Amino acid sequence: MGEPLPAVPAVSKWAMLGMVSVGVFMATLDSSIVNVALPTVRTALSPPGEPADIGQAQWVVTAYMLVIAATLMPFGRLGELRGKGRIYGLGFLFFILGSALCGLAQSLPMLAAFRGLQGVGASMLMALGPALLVGAFPPGEMGRAMGLIGMVVAAGVSVGPGLGGLLVGIDWRTIFLLNVPLGLLGARWVWRAIGDVPSDRGPFDTGGAVLFGGAISLLVFLLAPLAGRGLELPALLALPWPQGPLGLAAALALLVLFVRVEMRRESPMVDLGLMRHRAFASAGLASLLSFFALSSTAILMPFFLYDVRGFSPTQIGLMLTALPLALSVLAPLGGRLADRVGVRGPATAGILVMGGGLLLLSGVNGSTPVADIVARFLVVGVGVGLFSAPNNSALMGSVPRDRLGLAGGMLALVRTLGGLLGIAASVSMFTLLRAGGLDFTPAMSRVFQAFAIACAAGALFSLARPGPPSHAPGSPGKV
């Protein structure tokens, strides 16, 4: 592939941080903001007296995440071939168009389809944002940069339910229409400031992109029924195509074929050799487990606060801001610690604190004071803030500069898959526990305790990082 070309021209690192923050926040926010508004949206877009069931309404969320999961890696590679800033700016336009159409949707299927279009833009933003940021900051400040953008990512995911609760009180369509002016500002800013060149001259791997997208899409279809049916094996085996055993077999076949095709390509969409590097693999697995665990709070706590405690959506939204508030303080601190002492210690401590926060949340009940619940949320936020920046720095720092687009896509992919797996697993476990006779609160408590174990597993992967890993692309750093 020859010598790598420069990733971006000389652009102020702080201007780049601002541009990336706008796009990444929009993309991650919209992966969760709809959840609180979904009951209202379902009622508004269903025929009078015939509300859609939860399974149908869930596709408003799933369609968005499906498209993102299926296209992150192709768009990361496309950014390396056509210019990261160019594809990133195009992502704003797709996101704006999808958001505007969502705000005008007249039925649930129409809204789900437009959410898919919105997901195309979000995928471009999520895949290329970290790569642009790493290219703009000097190697010795990469931990700081990833701390700041990690704060934006986690805040976007966490703020979604709270902000959605506030906006649904005005009009559910404002959830989507709010993106239009913000996206136009971001697109204009990016295209005026970034005129980058490709970092690779190779061809685009169309076959690999199709195989990867097909495999990931089938896997998402397989995950979708779990939240509604639990993990009862007979029910899952009886599911029709593309779910059930035939869907699983097809997804595995496509993944095997994808690996075989990619190993023969001179310019593959995914450099599978990266998977053999412990620094890259351990950071990716730790990130997946962290978002897997975090998703359990995002999906169960709003229902607990609404169904058990009787709070309004607006009150719930305000309470859930405790987590992003903690992130806003701790994520930059985690990044600075990574620059000074290395990534292993802060990342491992962070994911362990996050697991401790889940254990604390497992102790809430119908009489727990509001301030106590908020304090427990804060502990989870502290853990995520300490973990995310060092871990992201380790992953992005383990690849050469001409593969930053790929690494950014991988980083966003493991977050998305972790969230999908976590939602399916937490709701499935909760459903089974409820069917077994437990009330809401004890069932939720068991789920949080189980997901705290996932944090402990993530800490083991974090400790398994090799030393000394690359602290930034092409430069030495600390463990």
Whether 125 is covered by a domain: the verdict is yes
pTM above 0.85, yes or no: no
Closest C-alpha among 395, 134, 406, 150 to residue 278: 395
Q: Is 204 helix (H, G, I), strand (E, B) or coil?
A: coil
Q: What is the pLDDT of residue 336?
A: 79
Q: What is the pLDDT of residue 236?
A: 53
Closest C-alpha among 383, 407, 277, 289 to residue 333: 383
- Do residue 353 and residue 424 come from a single domain? yes
Whether 383 is covered by a domain: the verdict is yes
Q: What is the pLDDT of residue 418?
A: 85
Whether 8 is covered by a domain: the verdict is no
Tell me: pLDDT of 216 over 80.
no
Whether 3 is covered by a domain: the verdict is no
Q: What is the pLDDT of residue 32?
A: 67
Instruction: Determine whether 138 is exposed, middle or buried from the number of CB atoms within 10 Å of its CB (0-12, 13-18, 19+).
Output: exposed
pLDDT tens by residue, 426-468: 877 887 888 888 998 999 999 999 999 999 999 999 888 765 4
- List Cβ neighbours of 80 (8 Å cut-off, separation of 6 or more): 198, 199, 200, 402, 403, 404, 405, 406
Mean local confidence (pLDDT), 58-79: 81
- Do residue 289 and residue 257 come from a single domain? no
- Do residue 122 and residue 217 come from a single domain? no
* Average pLDDT score, the chain: 77
Q: Tell me, what DSSP letter sits at residue 6?
A: P
Confidence tier at 150 by pLDDT (50, 70, 90) = low
Whether 1 is covered by a domain: the verdict is no
Q: What is the pLDDT of residue 439?
A: 92
- Do residue 289 and residue 216 come from a single domain? no
Tell me: pLDDT of 470 over 50.
no
Mean local confidence (pLDDT), 376-398: 84
- Token pair in block for residue 306: 């609404």
- Do residue 96 and residue 225 come from a single domain? no
- pLDDT higher for 6 or 297? 297
Whether 46 is covered by a domain: the verdict is yes
Confidence tier at 198 by pLDDT (50, 70, 90) = low
- Token pair in block for residue 392: 């992201």
- Do residue 105 and residue 250 come from a single domain? no
Q: 227, 243, 264 — which closes off a domain?
A: 264
CATH number at residue 52: 1.20.1250.20
Distance CA 115, CA 363 (A): 36
- Token pair in block for residue 176: 């989507």
- Do residue 246 and residue 389 come from a single domain? no
Q: 264, 299, 334 — which closes off a domain?
A: 264
Which DSSP helix (H) or strand (E) runs through 475? strand 475-476
Q: 227, 249, 264 — which closes off a domain?
A: 264
Whether 80 is covered by a domain: the verdict is yes
- Determine contact, residues 406/270, Cβ cutoff 8 Å: yes
- Do residue 164 and residue 218 come from a single domain? no
Q: What is the pLDDT of residue 8?
A: 44
Mean local confidence (pLDDT), 327-344: 78
Question: Mean pLDDT highest for which of 80-94, 103-117, 177-191, 313-327?
Answer: 103-117
Tell me: pLDDT of 89 over 60.
yes
Domain, as residue range, for 72: 13-205+265-476
- Do residue 217 and residue 126 come from a single domain? no
Confidence tier at 369 by pLDDT (50, 70, 90) = very high
Whether 2 is covered by a domain: the verdict is no
pLDDT tens by residue, 251-295: 788 888 888 887 777 767 676 666 677 778 888 889 899 989 988
Distance CA 413, CA 427 (A): 21
The structural domain count of the chain equals 2
- Do residue 226 and residue 357 come from a single domain? no
Closest C-alpha among 286, 408, 415, 398 to residue 347: 286
Mean local confidence (pLDDT), 7-26: 73
- Do residue 300 and residue 167 come from a single domain? yes
Q: What is the 3-state secondary structure (H, E, C) of the chain?
A: CCCCCCCCCCCCHHHHHHHHHHHHHHHHHCCCCHHHHHHHHHHHHCCCCCCCCHHHHHHHHHHHHHHHHHHHHHHHHHHHHHCHHHHHHHHHHHHHHHHHHHHHCCCHHHHHHHHHHHHHHHHHHHHHHHHHHHHHCCHHHHHHHHHHHHHHHHHHHHHHHHHHHHHHCCCCCHHHHCHHHHHHHHHHHHHHHCCCCCCCCCCCCHHHHHHHHHHHHHHHHHHCCHHHHCCCHHHHHCCCCCCHHHHHHHHHHHHHHHHHHHHHCCCCCCCHHHHHCHHHHHHHHHHHHHHHHHHHHHHHHHHHHHHHCCCCHHHHHHHHCHHHHHHHHHHHHHHHHHHHHCCHHHHHHHHHHHHHHHHHHCCCCCCCCHHHHHHHHHHHHHHHHHHHHHHHHHHHCCCCHHHHHHHHHHHHHHHHHHHHHHHHHHHHHHHHHHHCCCCHHHHHHHHHHHHHHHHHHHHHHHHCCCCCCEEECCEECCC
- Do residue 437 and residue 449 come from a single domain? yes
- Determine contact, residues 176/42, Cβ cutoff 8 Å: no
Q: What is the pLDDT of residue 162?
A: 66
